[in-house]
Amino acid sequence: MNFNPLSLLSKLDISMNIQGKISQQAADQAALRLAWAASIALLVLALSIGFALVAWVLGWRG
């Protein structure tokens, strides 16, 4: 039986590299979702403040 520890290490390195790419892709996706959520939250906040200012200027009572 011919045992080569280097081939085992190279197989391990390849599988870790694939795992690293998958986790990097998942991290990028999570960061993109977080950025979208933050953008939408800021947009809603800006619209709310704008509506409140318009209501205040026009003298609407809520």
pLDDT in tens, 23-54: 888 888 999 999 999 999 999 999 999 999 99
**C-alpha to C-alpha distance for 57 and 33, rounded to whole angstroms:** 36
Task: Tell me if residue 58 falls in helix, strand or coil.
Answer: helix
**C-alpha to C-alpha distance for 5 and 37, rounded to whole angstroms:** 48
Q: Which of 10-14, 23-27, 58-62 has the highest mean pLDDT?
A: 23-27
55 contact partners, CB below 8 Å, separation of at least 6:
62
- Check if the beta carbon of residue 32 is closer than 8 Å to that of residue 39: no
What is the chain's percent helix, strand, coil content, to nearest 5? Answer: 85, 0, 15
